Amino acid sequence: MEFEEIKITEDGKLTKKIVKPGTGDQPKTGQVIEVHYTGTLTDGSKFDSSVDRNTTFTFTLGTGEVIKGWDIGMATMKLGEKSIFTIHPDLGYGEGGSGKIPANATLIFEVELLGFKDKPREKWDLSDEERRVEGLKFKNEGNAFFKEENFEDAKKKYEEAIDYLESDTSPEAIGLKIPTYLNLSAVCVKLDEFKKAIENADHALKIDPNNVKAYFRRAAAKQAFGQLEEAKQDLKSALGLDPNNHDILREMQLIHEKIAKKQQKRKETLY
């Protein structure tokens, strides 16, 4: 069956034949396009095919991720449309060619437009408020994983939350960062990553030097790391801020007992 050839550019360097019409709107610059395609040269030799790989191809329209013929041609398609594009070398790979494509080759592409959507916004495209929303979402997801004792995924979520909040110095962001750092410290202890646990408690204390929970979490990490005297000092700092905290008092007692046992063992070794 012969299909009508449509000039997309006035000079005829890009044309298409619609094999199967599509419906709805056409994609816009900046949207993510999903297609299946097969590329051949004018002699019929195939040089590439997503169909053969059984893997669709995606790209952002109008941003130079693909050859000009594609950026211009795909913008004329509708959802579900299948067309055959003939692309002049000037809108293809030109004098340089590419891989199996020789220099100054005219390209024939059969393309099916499977879908298109707005490109997800990157972190740096978001406002401070939007980043805080994302940070809170990741923090809550981390908490859910922590409750399930899925510590690896909890850690990833807390780290993603920090990534969104790190540069924000607003009171709202600080109110999110401190508990996220502390939760990250706690999960690192669970994963036996004691150095990272201490570092995250440090981050919380840098923001709020009088944070009792941060001293408590850092003490727990140092104790697990075998730094008993350092853990004791953190607990002393915590008690100075909250003298009647039963959890801290209990941990202080345990630390004293561990230090005493360690000293006794050292004495026994000397005799």
CA pair distance 19, 108, nearest whole angstrom: 14
- Give the chain's length: 271
Given the residues 109, 138, 145, 158, select the one marked as catalytic.
109
Which member of 8, 71, 87, 93 is catalytic?
Answer: 93
Assess whether 48 carries a catalytic annotation. Answer: yes
Catalytic site residue 93? Answer: yes
Pure H helices in 23-85: 50-53, 68-74
Catalytic residue among 37, 146, 151, 216: 37
What tokens does 76 get? 């004329």
In three-state secondary structure terms, 216 is helix
Residue 59 makes CB contacts below 8 A (sequence gap 6+) with 32, 33, 65, 66, 70
Structure tokens given for 97: 């060619």
Question: Active site residue: 8, 48, 138, 145, which one?
Answer: 48
The 10 Å CB-count burial string (b at 16+, else e) for 56-78 is ebebebbeeebbbbbbbbbbbbb
| Candidates 33, 67, 72, 87; catalytic one | 67
Whether the Cβ atoms of residue 191 and residue 151 lie closer than 8 Å to each other:
yes
Please tell me the chain's helix, strand, coil percentages from 3-state DSSP, rounded to the nearest 5: 50, 20, 30
Give exposure, 150-170, as e/b (b: 16+ Cβ within 10 Å). Answer: ebeebbbbbbbbbebbeebee
Alpha carbon separation from 250 to 103, 210, 222, 243, 257 (Å, rounded): 77, 20, 16, 12, 11
Catalytic sites, residue numbers: 37, 47-48, 67, 93, 109
